[in-house]
Amino acid sequence: MRAFAALALFAVTTAHAAPDPHSYANSDAVRVEHAHLDLKVSFEQRQLSGFVELRLKRLDPNAHRLVLDTRDLTIESVVAIAGDDYPPTPFKLAPRDPVFGSALTIELPAAADRVRIHYHTAPEASGLQWLEPALTAGKRLPFMFSQSQAIHARSWVPIQDSPAVRFTYSARINTPKGLLARMSADNNPLDAADGDYRFTMQQPIPSYLLAIAVGELKFAPLGERSGVYAEPSVLDAAAWEFADTERMIEIAESLYGPYRWGRYDLLVLPPSFPYGGMENPRLTFLTPTVIAGDRSLVSLIAHELAHSWSGNLVTNKDWNHFWLNEGFTTYVENRIVEAAFGVERADMERQLAERDLDEELATVPAADQGLRGHLSGRTPDDGPTEVAYTKGMTFLRFLEQRFGREVFDPFLRRWFDSHAFGSVDTDDFLAFLKNELIDRHPGKVSGDEIFQFIEGPGYPAIAPRTHAARFDAIDRSLKAWLAAEVELGALDSKTWSTQEWIRLIEGLPASVDLKQMASLDAQFKLSSVGNSEVAFAWYVQAIAHDYPPAFAPMADFLKRIGRRKFVVPLYTALMNKPAYQAFARESYAKARPGYHPITRESVDAVVK
Ligand code: BES
Ligand code: ZN
């Protein structure tokens, strides 16, 4: 049966060109169809241990090996299963690549259709964070959660870690009693925290949507099919903040067809969660910094919910086509916000995003300014830029405006329906766009215009620009105050929304002096503001304007919160000013132990 020696096996592996530039998997020859996980969660050892059993489909009938992705996993044994036969099979772990990890090559006898891999994770697994009780809200029990996107699933499961490969999964998870385990699967809100949990995910998903969280979690319902999990002390505030969830699901369904995943629950993580949100199917993971107390940041829920169509249902084939996930989702998010909270709110949020895009375009190399990504050989964690999100959204808005919503909305719905549970790339979308929209309504957009978005640099001159009326009023108030025509106390700031506060703060010109910064702070208490987005905008200005009183609260913010979107720009701005480098280093030294491995990697690169 074993037709080749281990040495030959290894040579073949390194020569193989995998279909996905960020995966070693030979998914063009053998494909994972179902994964069953049986894992024990150990907080003492900061490790998951047990096995995964993979059911395989051979695309190449002569395939005699299976190549999986791993990173920092210890592989204990592998068996290749054929019927009732479970014989050990040779395997080889390649040397570790710092970005992609180690290919695991398993010899696959002709009759085998499953493999079972016994393994355990490393305490520093890039896709897991293990939190001491002190870093949770309750401070009584530890917490553990995964973040698999983009290529971190491989650090906790040996898998074909490519968004082109979809599989169903089931799991049995063993935890210490009193902690609840939840996964991106069918969670039963009535489960008791007895330490023994079973999950099934019957819709096929890509590996980056594998997710697990274990902690002192309680549940509150939000609607018939939606609810929120959070630590007990956070639960009431979370349930209040996210009360619009069911309504947003209904809005999305009315635009793009039925929600196909059963339940839609939210899980609030500790503040070290490296992202704002993560669209794990059936169970969005959220930063607690979205709980502002006034529901003003819930477009993040609209965003993660929108991924139930763009991303989870229709998935980018590899990370060079990330804009198909995030640009579409940002567009859908804004449509949900418009329908749920009105056109003014949607306009303001979009205009803020357009400004962020403008600022980023000033720093990103021209080659990375087109929607089609060029991330091959690079870490796909570089993919999340405003280009994929906001230029992507703007492209769809451009099409929406040229064709009209009565034509564009059904078109987008057909895109989701006809590619449901599939993986797609930029050319797939361009072909669909041509056949389904452009050829049917000729003369509305040109190939050159499309090129400007897909490949071209910058913010295309033909792209729509948003002008929110309420922002004009903010800009006028700011100007009047700067010209000493009006006192801060006389502005109608009581009525300002979070988005208007951000507009005001981001609009402070370089000429604002220390005294003016101090008056703003005295009047509006900006250095200690609770809203994370407003605080972030203010700290950015405090660094730019050398305003010392904001630095102590900023250090506290950096220690409390590990969301990459906030901490990476703040450390970057600090390091760009020699006078603040020591402050950045000191703050980081205190904060780093509480940061997620993904956040640490990004901040390490900034703070040397
Ligand atoms: N899927 C992303 C998060 C992500 C992207 C994780 C790439 C890893 C690699 C998620 O849907 C997202 O976009 N989150 C945003 C929030 C959103 C409202 C812009 C975030 O985390 O800030
Ligand atoms: Zn997203």
Cis peptide before 181 (omega within 30 of 0): no
When pLDDT is averaged across residues 188-213 and rounded to a whole number, the result is 98
- Beta strand ranges found along 132-281 (DSSP E): 143-146, 166-174, 180-183, 196-206, 212-215, 218-221, 226-230, 264-268, 277-278
pLDDT, one tens digit per residue, over 268-280 is 999 999 999 999 9
> Which atom of ligand 1 sits closest to the CA of residue 598?
8
CA–CA gap between residue 37 and residue 25 (Å, rounded): 19
Nearest CA to ligand 1 atom 1: 278
Indicate if 389 belongs to the active site. Answer: yes
Q: What is the pLDDT of residue 2?
A: 32
Q: What is the pLDDT of residue 492?
A: 96
Mutate to test the pocket of ligand 1, among 99, 184, 209, 275 (most ligand atoms within 8 A of CB): 275
> Which atom of ligand 1 sits closest to the CA of residue 300?
18
Two tokens at 147?
Answer: 């973040």
Q: Which domains does the chain possess?
A: 21-214 (2.60.40.1730), 217-308 (3.30.2010.30), 319-454 (1.10.390.10), 469-607 (1.25.40.320)
Question: Is residue 202 pLDDT above 90, yes or no?
Answer: yes
Q: What is the pLDDT of residue 7?
A: 34
pLDDT, one tens digit per residue, over 305-353 is 999 999 999 999 999 999 999 999 999 999 999 999 999 999 999 999 9
Q: If pLDDT is split at 50, 70 and 90, which confidence band does 11 have?
A: very low
Question: Is residue 360 pLDDT above 80, yes or no?
Answer: yes
Ligand 2 (ion): residues with CB under 5 Å are 326, 329
Mean of per-residue pLDDT scores for the chain: 96
Token pair 């590996």 is at which residue? 207
Q: What is the pLDDT of residue 384?
A: 72
Nearest CA to ligand 1 atom 14: 277
CA–CA gap between residue 260 and residue 44 (Å, rounded): 38
Judged on CB neighbours under 10 Å (0-12, 13-18, 19+), 264 is buried
**Count of positions (residues) in the chain:** 608
Three-class SS state of 13: helix
Nearest CA to ligand 1 atom 8: 149
Q: Of 59, 65, 130, 126, which is closest to residue 92 (Cα–Cα)?
A: 65
CA–CA gap between residue 140 and residue 132 (Å, rounded): 9
Q: Which of 169, 208, 389, 571 is catalytic?
A: 389
pLDDT, one tens digit per residue, over 27-55 is 999 999 999 999 999 999 999 999 999 99
Two tokens at 313?
Answer: 């249902």
Query: Measuring from each residue's beta carbon to the nearest atom of ligand 1, which residues come in under 6 Å?
Result: 149-150, 275-279, 300, 303-304, 307, 326, 383-384, 389, 565
pLDDT, one tens digit per residue, over 50-103 is 999 999 999 999 999 999 999 999 999 999 999 999 999 999 999 999 999 999
Nearest CA to ligand 1 atom 6: 149
Task: Give the residue, 76 or 11, on which the prediction is more confident.
Answer: 76
Q: What is the pLDDT of residue 128?
A: 98
pLDDT, one tens digit per residue, over 205-264 is 999 999 999 999 999 999 999 999 999 999 999 999 999 999 999 999 999 999 999 999
How remote is the CA of residue 59 from the centroid of ligand 2, in Å? Answer: 32
Indicate if 304 belongs to the active site. Answer: yes
Q: Of 310, 303, 312, which is closest to residue 324 (Cα–Cα)?
A: 310
Rounded to the nearest 10 degrees, what angle do helices 392-403 and 405-418 cross at? Answer: 130
> Which atom of ligand 1 sits closest to the CA of residue 274?
21
**What b/e readout covers 488-500, taking b as 16+ CB neighbours within 10 angstroms?**
eeebeeeebbbbb
Judged on CB neighbours under 10 Å (0-12, 13-18, 19+), 516 is middle
Question: Is residue 145 pLDDT above 90, yes or no?
Answer: yes
pLDDT, one tens digit per residue, over 269-311 is 999 999 999 999 999 999 999 999 999 999 999 999 999 999 9
Three-class SS state of 181: strand
> Which atom of ligand 1 sits closest to the CA of residue 311?
1
Q: What is the pLDDT of residue 383?
A: 65
Percent of the chain with pLDDT over 90: 95
Q: If pLDDT is split at 50, 70 and 90, which confidence band does 608 have?
A: confident
Question: Is residue 6 pLDDT above 70, yes or no?
Answer: no
How remote is the CA of residue 310 from the centroid of ligand 2, in Å? Answer: 9
The number of angstroms, rounded, from the C-alpha of 300 to the middle of its chain's C-alpha atoms is 11
Distances (CA, A) of 306 to 87, 94, 310, 503: 45, 38, 6, 25
CA–CA gap between residue 594 and residue 588 (Å, rounded): 10
Question: Is residue 13 pLDDT above 70, yes or no?
Answer: no
Two tokens at 375?
Answer: 């991330």
Q: Of 69, 450, 151, which is closest to residue 319 (Cα–Cα)?
A: 151
- Rg value, the chain, Cα: 25
> Which atom of ligand 1 sits closest to the CA of residue 329?
11
Q: If pLDDT is split at 50, 70 and 90, which confidence band does 18 have?
A: confident
How remote is the CA of residue 321 from the centroid of ligand 2, in Å? Answer: 13
For residue 299, the ligand closest to its alpha carbon is 1
CA–CA gap between residue 99 and residue 80 (Å, rounded): 28
Two tokens at 86?
Answer: 């479970």
Q: If pLDDT is split at 50, 70 and 90, which confidence band does 382 have?
A: confident
| 245, 265 contact by CB (below 8 A) | no
pLDDT, one tens digit per residue, over 426-480 is 999 999 999 999 999 999 999 999 999 999 999 999 999 999 999 999 999 999 9
Mutate to test the pocket of ligand 1, among 145, 209, 278 (most ligand atoms within 8 A of CB): 278
| 384, 392 contact by CB (below 8 A) | no
Question: Is residue 8 pLDDT above 50, yes or no?
Answer: no
Q: Which of 107, 241, 304, 386 is catalytic?
A: 304
pTM above 0.95, yes or no: yes
CA angle 88, 92, 94 (to 5 degrees): 160
